[in-house]
Amino acid sequence: MFVSDGGGPTPGPTGSPSPTPSASPTPSPTGTSPPPWPTDGSVTIFTPTDNPASPNWSDRSAVEVGVRFRSDVNGVVTGVRFYKGPANTGVHTGSLWTTGGQLLASGTFQNESGSGWQTLTFAQPVGVTAGTTYVASYHTAVGYYAVTVGAFNNPLDRPPLHASANGGVYRYGAGSAYPSEGTPHNYWVDVMFRTP
């Protein structure tokens, strides 16, 4: 459960003031894993050298985590990505939402690797409007999501994409749902964006 430190919610179990990476056995992936970085000309919020401070936060609760973002130009979101630590096992569902909670696209990540960036390409690209904020998220049934505490105290600008200040979002629950709670923490959720 998130606990407050006076500056907003902190991602962590009650009584744990700092990230504690955990490890658990991870089944070997089957099939061919998607490439860790987009190869279709898409741009992303994060670069190949960006890594979370904690790849597995020691929170064992089912939760939807994500990021609020916007683009400087009209385009399409072709999918979502998330950074996976080795303890974040099981099935993961990725989604794209309006800030009002309308689901625009979703799907299940396939052929995940044991850790690192995981990629979900939507069945159809979703058009997004310049200057409008959207939410990209994924659901984990086991917790152990990646996090960098306070990384969104300020916006992250990677033109044409921008992650909002306090742009981390979350919602606890057994199934995928719109993550309406805001926080300055980065949960390492990303989008794949292209101009038409």
Cα–Cα distance measured from residue 126 to residue 133, given in angstroms and rounded to the nearest whole number: 14
pLDDT tens digits, residue range 15-43? 333 333 333 333 333 333 444 556 667 89
Longest dimension (CA), the chain: 48
Q: How confident is the model at residue 7 (pLDDT cuts 50, 70, 90)?
A: very low
Mean pLDDT of 39-63: 91
Q: State the burial class of residue 67 (Cβ atoms within 10 Å of its Cβ: 0-12, 13-18, 19+).
A: buried
Q: How far apart are CA 67 and CA 48, in angstroms?
A: 18
Query: What is the distance, to the nearest Å, from the Cα of residue 151 to the centroid of all Cα atoms in its chain?
Result: 13
Q: Which residue has the tokens 């606890």?
A: 172
Read off the pLDDT band of 72 (50, 70, 90). Answer: very high
- Is residue 147 predicted with pLDDT exceeding 80? yes
- What are the structural domains, with CATH classification, of the chain? 53-194 (2.60.120.820)
Q: What is the pTM of this model?
A: 0.82
Residue 71 pLDDT grade (very low, low, confident, very high; cuts 50, 70, 90): very high
